[in-house]
């Protein structure tokens, strides 16, 4: 009987403020690990692909798409639980449609709850985001950008939770270049984005997004080039694979 230990495939989450380099870092880490890169937009596109599919086509569609169908399976789990509970009916057909929930921007989702309907929508939003994130992570080999991954997967021991930061000046330069805007506009974007991120994490997870103890590592991309930072993160992910081999 073989005593070789099986390595869990890497799971990396990358968070951080706009202009902090998280997207670039996540992309390079995924390349180094040979892993799939997923973010909120990819999840929303997958929900849209599945939305309104005829019942006879649904099974086939669930086996396709990002992460070998894992995004779809997370959506399916949410649908089945909603149908069993009878609380959301068929989420693809009503105002609580999964594609609508996952298409919410951070700013929209962070809005304070002011009605019973919004409270229910917020619950469905967090439920589907949690189920999809966990379904994507369960088989590993994935880099997840944003979406509260560091909190949703906090009990996954081999997940490498990363926070990408940069000095404000570096963030503003990146925003001005990426968005083709002037400095005052970049300052406004950075301020509004920071406020929304903090409000979003506080609303749904009762946590401070800037708390360093939520992460395995905080990477300053204003000091470290993206490629160098990505090598550090990728090596940490591989080390966790070895540490938690079963």
Q: pLDDT by residue (tens digit) across 119-140?
A: 988 998 898 899 889 888 887 8
Distance, CA of 105 to CA of 211 (rounded, Å): 22
Distance, CA of 57 to CA of 61 (rounded, Å): 6
- What ranges do the domains of the chain cover? 9-35+140-240, 52-139
Model confidence pLDDT, tens digit, residues 161-187:
999 999 999 999 999 999 999 999 999
Assign domain 9-35+140-240 to its CATH superfamily.
P-loop containing nucleotide triphosphate hydrolases (3.40.50.300)
Distance, CA of 137 to CA of 131 (rounded, Å): 10
Most confident of 6-20, 110-124, 189-203: 189-203
98 contacts 79 by C-beta, under 8 angstroms = yes
- Reported confidence tier of residue 103, pLDDT bands at 50, 70, 90: confident
- Is the model's pLDDT at 88 over the cut of 70? no
**What's the chain's average pLDDT?**
85
- Is the model's pLDDT at 53 over the cut of 60? no
Residue-level pLDDT at 190:
97
């Amino acid at each position: 009987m073989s005593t070789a230990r099986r390595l869990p495939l890497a799971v990396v989450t990358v968070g951080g403020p706009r202009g902090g380099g998280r997207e670039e870092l996540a992309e390079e880490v995924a390349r180094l690990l040979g892993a799939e890169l997923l973010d909120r937009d990819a999840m929303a596109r997958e929900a849209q692909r599945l939305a309104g599919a005829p019942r006879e086509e649904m099974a086939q569609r669930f086996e396709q798409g990002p992460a070998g169908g894992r995004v779809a399976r997370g959506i399916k789990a949410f649908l089945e639980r909603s149908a069993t509970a009878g609380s959301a009916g068929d989420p693809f057909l009503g105002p609580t449609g999964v594609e609508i929930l996952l298409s919410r921007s951070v700013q929209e989702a962070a809005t304070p709850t002011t009605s019973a309907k919004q409270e229910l929508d917020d619950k469905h939003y967090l439920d589907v985001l949690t189920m999809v994130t966990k379904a994507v992570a369960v088989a590993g080999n994935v880099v997840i950008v944003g979406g509260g991954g560091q909190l949703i997967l906090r009990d996954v021991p081999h997940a490498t939770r990363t926070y990408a930061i940069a000095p404000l000046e570096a963030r503003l330069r990146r925003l001005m270049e990426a968005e083709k805007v002037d400095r005052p506009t970049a300052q406004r974007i950075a301020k509004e984005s920071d406020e929304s991120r903090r409000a979003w994490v506080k609303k749904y997870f009762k946590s401070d997004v800037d708390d360093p103890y939520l992460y395995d590592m905080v990477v300053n991309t204003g000091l470290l080039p993206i490629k160098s930072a990505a090598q550090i993160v990728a090596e940490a992910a591989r080390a966790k694979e070895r540490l938690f081999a079963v």
